[in-house]
Amino acid sequence: MPDIFTYFGFIFSFYSNPLSTKDDKTARLFIEKYWQNIVDKWVNFFVYKKRVRCTDIKTKL
């Protein structure tokens, strides 16, 4: 499964492992901001069978 985003030490893939409470809050904020990009990458990978690249996010939320 490809990594789709990296954000200050977090690596986001199409699946998730349990997170600590602090990490969960950060992940939720990230997903709220980038949900459309996540959906676009999901569709490209699973529906259109395209290769998706990992995007490195370097700005704080």
Share of the chain above pLDDT 70, in %: 100
List pLDDT tens digits, range 28-39. Answer: 999 999 999 999
pLDDT value of residue 48: 97
Give the pLDDT confidence of 4-54 residue by residue, as tens digits. 999 998 899 988 778 788 898 999 999 999 999 999 999 999 999 999 999
Q: Rounded CA gap, 26 and 61, in Å? A: 9
**Distance (Å, whole) CA 24 – CA 5:** 16
Residue 10 half-sphere exposure, CB side, CA atoms within 13 Å? Answer: 24
Is residue 55 within 8 Å of 40, Cβ to Cβ?
Answer: no
Tally Cβ neighbours within 10 Å of residue 10. 13
* Residue ranges of domains in the chain: 3-14+21-55
Give the C-alpha distances (Å, rounded to integers) separating 40 from 14, 35, 49.
Answer: 12, 9, 12
